[in-house]
Structure 1
Amino acid sequence: MPLLDKKIAIVTGASSGLGRAIALRYAEEGAAVVIADIIEDPIEGGDTTLACIRAAGGRGMFAKTDISSWSDVDALITNTVAEFGRLDVMVNNAAVYTSTNLLGTSPEQWRRVIDVNVTGFFYCCKRAVMQFVEQEPVGETRGRIINISSQHGMVACPGDFPYGVSKGAVVQMTRQIAVDHADELIVCNAIAPGKIITGKPGVANNPDALDYSRRRTPWPRLGEPRDVAGAAVFLASDMASYVTGVNLMVDGGWMAG
């Protein structure tokens, strides 16, 4: 039986990159997947995530969503439940960055990163928990939240002050929710990717940054989106019912070094 058979999942930022990989893998494992993003076309090019899911015989829908808007997040979960009957897994992945240090960060840049990466995650977690407590448990849980954090939630993110601060907040948010809502059978974990090669534009994929990451990562290759997707499947599955409040490193040993 597929690991996520009959589960209903939302993945934010699922048109491209890590979110796309998670959504596609969830669909392969039997979940109905709601792709929540501000645009539907993938930055890598090619077919949309929803088209790929449907071509493989899976179920899903696209929901245009700005997670920094409470009304968008409220509508996202309301419409998901109206379409599929419940919500089992909320994956908070959508995020923005500025590649600016403290002095180079404008108030507008700071506000935008915090609005999406912290307040947006807060909105998604809050609205998901509001839904979870209203529905009956399936197995041991009423619902699961998976927050995509970063290794830069534990160590500094060189040259990107707002992003690093925001990811540290996500790690603590995960712990708080896990502890506060365990009695309600709600599981909350985070995944902290190390260096993952995606189609994301900007400094993350310049040659010097990639060379540094290769030298810094003990495992003899850099990460791929499928590595994060595999961890997200585990945390969404019934195998992980006694795992909560964890910030799971998927980093090729970077933080162990």
Structure 2
Amino acid sequence: MALLANKTAIVTGASSGIGRAIALKFAAEGANVVIADTVEQPIEGGESTVELIRSAGGNAVYMKTDISDWNAVDALVGATVDRFGRLDVMVNNAAIYTSTNLVETTPEQWNRVIGVNLTGSFYCNKRAVTQMLTQAPVNEVRGRIINISSQHGMVACPGDLAYSVSKGGIVQMTRQIAVDHADDLIVCNAIAPGKIITGKPGVANDPDALDYSRRRTPWPRLGHPHDVAGAALFLASDMASYVTGINLMVDGGWMAG
């Protein structure tokens, strides 16, 4: 049987990149997948995530969502439950990035990054847990949450203030939720990707930055979205039956060295 048969998952930021790969992986394993994003068209180009899932015989729907808006997150989870009956897996992947140090970061940049990355994750976690508390357990679990953090949430990266702070907050939020809601049979884990080639434009694709990442990563290649998706599938499935509160590094050994 497929690992996520009869399960329903929301994946935020799933139109592109890592979120897209997670949504595709979940759908291939039998899940009903809600693609929650501000836009449906992938940054990488090509068919939308929903179109790819449906063309492969899976079940997916797109719901336009700004996770920095509590009312939008509330509506997202409500509409998902109305459509599919329950919420089994919540993947909080949506994030934005600025590359500035403390002095360079404007209050507007700070508020926007924290508003999406950290407050948005708080909204999604809060609404998901509230829903999961109303659900009967299946194989000992009422629901599973996967927060996408970052290695930048564990070590400082030059000129990366707001993003690193937001990701560090997500790591601690994950631990807190796992401890607070273990008795409720709600599982909460995080995944910390290393350097992942997503096809998105920006400073992350600067040739010098890529060269540094290749030299810094022990594994002989950089990561791809499907590497993170495989880790997410494990944490979303019953295979992770006694795993909660971890920050799983998918980084080719970067943090080990």
Unaligned segments of structure 1, at least 5 residues: none
Partner of 1:47: 47
The answer for the alignment partner of 2:18 in structure 1 is 18
- Shift of residue 24 of structure 1? 0.3
Residues 113-157 of structure 1, C-alpha deviations (whole Å, 9 max, x = no match): 000000000000000000000010111100000000000110012
Cross-structure match for 2:59: 59
| Corresponding position of 2:88 | 88
Q: TM-score, normalised by structure 1?
A: 0.99
Tell me the residue number matched to 1:123. 123
Offset from partner CA, 1:151-210 (integer Å, 9 cap, x none): 011001221110000000000000000000000000000000000001222110110000
Does residue 214 of structure 1 match 2:242?
Answer: no
Q: Are 1:157 and 1:163, in contact at CA under 8 Å, matched by a contact in 2?
A: no
* 2:239 aligned counterpart, secondary structure: helix
SS in structure 1 at match of 2:74: helix
Distance of 1:166 and 1:158 partners within structure 2? 15
What is the CA–CA distance in structure 2 between the aligned matches of 1:35 and 1:83, rounded to whole Å?
13
One-letter amino acid of the counterpart of residue 225, structure 2? P
Alpha-carbon distance in structure 2 between the residues aligned to 1:153 and 1:18: 17
Which stretch has the larger CA shift, 150-159 or 44-53?
150-159
Q: How far is 1:94 from its partner?
A: 0.1
Partner Cα distance (1:125, 1:26) in 2 = 19
Taking the aligned partners of 1:174 and 1:193, their CA distance within structure 2 comes to 15
Q: How many residues align?
A: 257
Give structure 1 regions of 4+ aligned residues with deviation exceeding 2 angstroms: none
- Alignment partner, residue 171 of structure 1: 171
Work out the CA distance in 1 between the residues paired with 2:33 and 2:220: 33
Amino acid at match of 2:169: A
Name the counterpart of 1:228: 228
SS of the residue corresponding to residue 68 of structure 2 reads: coil
Cross-structure match for 2:186: 186
Question: 2:24 aligned with 1:28, yes or no?
Answer: no
Q: Does structure 2 retain, via aligned residues, the 8 Å contact 1:187–1:241?
A: no
Matches of 2:204 and 2:154, distance apart in 1: 18
Question: 1:190 & 1:207 partners in 2: Cα distance?
Answer: 29
1:56-95 CA-partner distances (Å, limit 9, x unpaired): 0101110000000000000000000000000000000000
Amino acid across the alignment from 2:160: D
TM-score scaled to structure 2, two decimals?
Answer: 0.99
| CA–CA distance in structure 2, aligned partners of residues 181 and 128 of structure 1 | 12
Corresponding letter in the other structure for 2:246: V
- Residues of 1 paired with 2:3 and 2:135: CA distance? 21
Per-residue Cα deviation, 1:218-257 (whole angstroms, up to 9, x for no partner): 0000000000000000000001020000000000000000
1: distance between equivalents of 2:240 and 2:158? 33
Please give the per-residue CA displacement for 1:14-42, whole angstroms capped at 9, x wherever unaligned.
00000000000000011000000000000
Work out whether residues 27 and 33 of structure 1, in 8 Å CA contact, stay in contact via their aligned partners in 2: yes
* Corresponding residue number in structure 1 for 2:148: 148
2:23 is paired with a residue whose SS is helix
**Whole-angstrom distance in 1 between the partners of 2:27 and 2:243:** 22
Question: Sequence identity of aligned pairs in percent?
Answer: 77
The CA distance in 2 between the partners of 1:228 and 1:52, in whole Å, is 19
* Inter-partner Cα distance in structure 2 for 1:86 and 1:152: 33
Cα distance in 2 for residues equivalent to 1:198 and 1:53? 19
